Structure 1
Amino acid sequence: MPASSTVRRVWALDAPELTVDCSILMLGTGGQEDTIPSPSFLVEHAEGLLLFDTSLATSGAGDPAAAYGPLADAFKISIPEHCRLDRQLESIGCKTSDVRRIVLSHMHFDHTGGLDLFPHAEGFIGAGELRYARTPSSLDAGFFREEDIAAAGKIAWNEVPAGYDHDMFGDGSVVLLSLHGHTPGTLGLKVRLPDESTLVLTSDAAHKRANVEATTGMPFDVDRLNKNASLQKVKLLRTQPGTTVWISHDPRDWADFRPDNGEITSAAELNRAAAQA
């Protein structure tokens, strides 16, 4: 089997949303609100399905306060019924039990809400991330949800050391990127699509394109020095030919790169989505 055929497709699953002041997303900004997606990405590989991040809790669909209490109003959380992670998987013909591997970028609540759906999966997480989530600093303690930490405790995790990029299947098609700094174990994902182009998913190593362009983080980064180094790493990845860097929370990237059906097999589909945006 040619190496390039091992990733068959990627789905950008339709995303719940949060609405926040821009000052939360980037230092030195503020005064207006941004509505940002909270996505999950499903990767189909010859070795099975892999899910990158799990978005917001299905129990909050239609009534975010039922899952998030005061956070629902503070972040103006919106979880339409069709954006439930389990229903997103069903819409493309999958069940939660079909997902064999979970890659968690970090433990903030907008990435961990669906962990309870995957106790059977093999997990991959940045070193120290789960330990930090249980005893966070006061800086970002409000971003961790006890229910998600409990769900994470039922998953068998493999830890990815800081500074190490892990080739998931040994064929170069799916690589876990160490992008720590936002939290101690923040991870990104690099995927080689069937047409040999590369898709990089940054998660919260950056929140907006401007973070990368200015090498400037956000107020709740726990390690400013390593966060800046991770932003520089993302900036370098953007210079590689045939590479698309998708900043998960950036509404422009969501609008520009996501095809209508969410299914991605080539750079042409990413470019076509951008042209139509």
Structure 2
Amino acid sequence: MSRIKLAFAVIILALSGHGATAQSEKTGVEKLYVLNCGEGTAGDISRWTPGLNEGKTMDFVDTCYLIKHSKGWFLWDTGIADAVAAMPNGLVPADPKAVTWRRPKTLQAQLEQLGLKPEDIKAVGVSHTHPDHTGNVELFPQAVLFVQKTEYDWPGANNEPRFKPSHPVELLSGDKDVFGDGSVTVLSTPGHTPGHQSLLVKLPKTGAVVLSGDAVHFRDNWDNRRVPSMNVSKDQTTASMQKIADTLGKEKAQLWINHDKAQRDSQKMSPEFYD
């Protein structure tokens, strides 16, 4: 009888060990890379801070984020078009108060530095459809595009569609758990545009971060809850900032503000990463 009990105990131990090994396999987000997707100078930042800073210039950055998940690569925002890298004076806007963008590094070159080709990216999310966030969407014609339906249906210039009709797309109506495990969640944060969205990412060591998109453009606007004059809805913008604040509290998360140069300059840039 004691031998039988011993054999049974060995089987249970072996099974439990196998279970422990299976559970220890990596799941969820493994790495997050911060990519340089443009640098520029705003001619007059009063459009972002109504009633303040008339005539003052300000440096902006444009950031994309590459997420390595156990189920595949996910890119958040695609930045200024790579073609701008070849423009000696940058992309000069018609409105001198807007941002003149430059592209010191192309998105494709930064992917190549990580040993990746565009076709390795399985999904792309865009915070919204302004060109400094969608400039390279068609570099990934095979990737599923995550975008709010209200944004997708929002008419572009001359009522043109904002994306090629052939591009595979998942139209969202609110928040979306991208991988079904809670590690990457699209947050509906309208106001800057009708279907603007932000992203909550939960990293195993760094913890949770919220990628702002343009729900807020720089730290001073966040601290003072300022709403840029070009936003489509002041009320929606204010509500979205509150939603982000609530998420930061609930998840004990950091807020990474897309265009804030001081914050971006303090971050590890690709090929370094956060895990």
The normalised TM-score by structure 2 is 0.82
Of 172, 175, 200, the match for 1:160: 172
Task: Answer yes or no: is 1:23 the counterpart of 2:46.
Answer: yes
- Contact 1:65–1:71 (CA<8 Å) still a contact in 2? no
What does residue 5 of structure 2 align with?
none
RMSD across aligned positions (CA): 2.5
SS, match of residue 181 in structure 1: coil
Would you tell me which structure has more helix in proportion to its own residues?
Answer: 1
What does residue 226 of structure 1 align with?
236
State the Cα distance separating 1:260 from its structure 2 match. 4.4
| CA distances 1:20-78 after superposition (whole Å, capped 9, x unpaired) | 12213232322321111111110000111001000011112130778x56459752221
Of 144, 164, 173, the match for 1:122: 144
Q: Which amino acid aligns with 1:29?
A: L
What does residue 187 of structure 2 align with?
177
User: For the residues of structure 1 that align with 2:211 and 2:236, how far apart are their CA atoms?
Assistant: 18
User: For the residues of structure 1 that align with 2:26 and 2:239, how far apart are their CA atoms?
Assistant: 30
Q: Which amino acid aligns with 1:25?
A: W
Task: Answer yes or no: is 1:77 the counterpart of 2:101.
Answer: yes
SS, match of residue 247 in structure 2: helix
- Contact 2:36–2:269 (CA<8 Å) still a contact in 1? no
Q: Which amino acid aligns with 2:99?
A: F
Q: Which runs of 5+ in 1 are unaligned?
A: 267-277
- Contact 2:35–2:269 (CA<8 Å) still a contact in 1? no
What does residue 34 of structure 1 align with?
58
- Contact 2:208–2:254 (CA<8 Å) still a contact in 1? yes
Of 66, 87, 92, the match for 1:63: 87
| CA distances 1:82-115 after superposition (whole Å, capped 9, x unpaired) | x111111111111111000010110001001101
User: For the residues of structure 2 that align with 1:44 and 1:247, how far apart are their CA atoms?
Assistant: 20
Q: Which amino acid aligns with 2:268?
A: P
| CA distances 1:211-255 after superposition (whole Å, capped 9, x unpaired) | 222222101100111111001112223334641110111112212
User: For the residues of structure 2 that align with 1:3 and 1:123, how far apart are their CA atoms?
Assistant: 28
1:19–1:196 Cα change, 3 Å: closer
> Which one has the largest radius of gyration?
2
User: For the residues of structure 2 that align with 1:38 and 1:250, how far apart are their CA atoms?
Assistant: 8
| CA distances 1:109-146 after superposition (whole Å, capped 9, x unpaired) | 1001101201111111012212214268xxxx9xxxx7
User: For the residues of structure 1 that align with 2:271 and 2:155, how far apart are their CA atoms?
Assistant: 31
SS, match of residue 109 in structure 2: helix
Q: Which runs of 5+ in 2 are unaligned?
A: 1-22
The normalised TM-score by structure 1 is 0.82
What does residue 269 of structure 1 align with?
none
1:238–1:4 Cα change, 3 Å: farther
What does residue 86 of structure 1 align with?
108
Q: Which amino acid aligns with 2:133?
A: H
User: For the residues of structure 2 that align with 1:55 and 1:64, how far apart are their CA atoms?
Assistant: 18
User: For the residues of structure 1 that align with 2:52 and 2:212, how far apart are their CA atoms?
Assistant: 21
| CA distances 1:162-220 after superposition (whole Å, capped 9, x unpaired) | xx221111100000000011101101011110227101101100001222222221011
1:1-20 equivalent positions in 2, closer than 5 A:
1=23, 5-20=27-42
- Contact 1:103–1:124 (CA<8 Å) still a contact in 2? yes
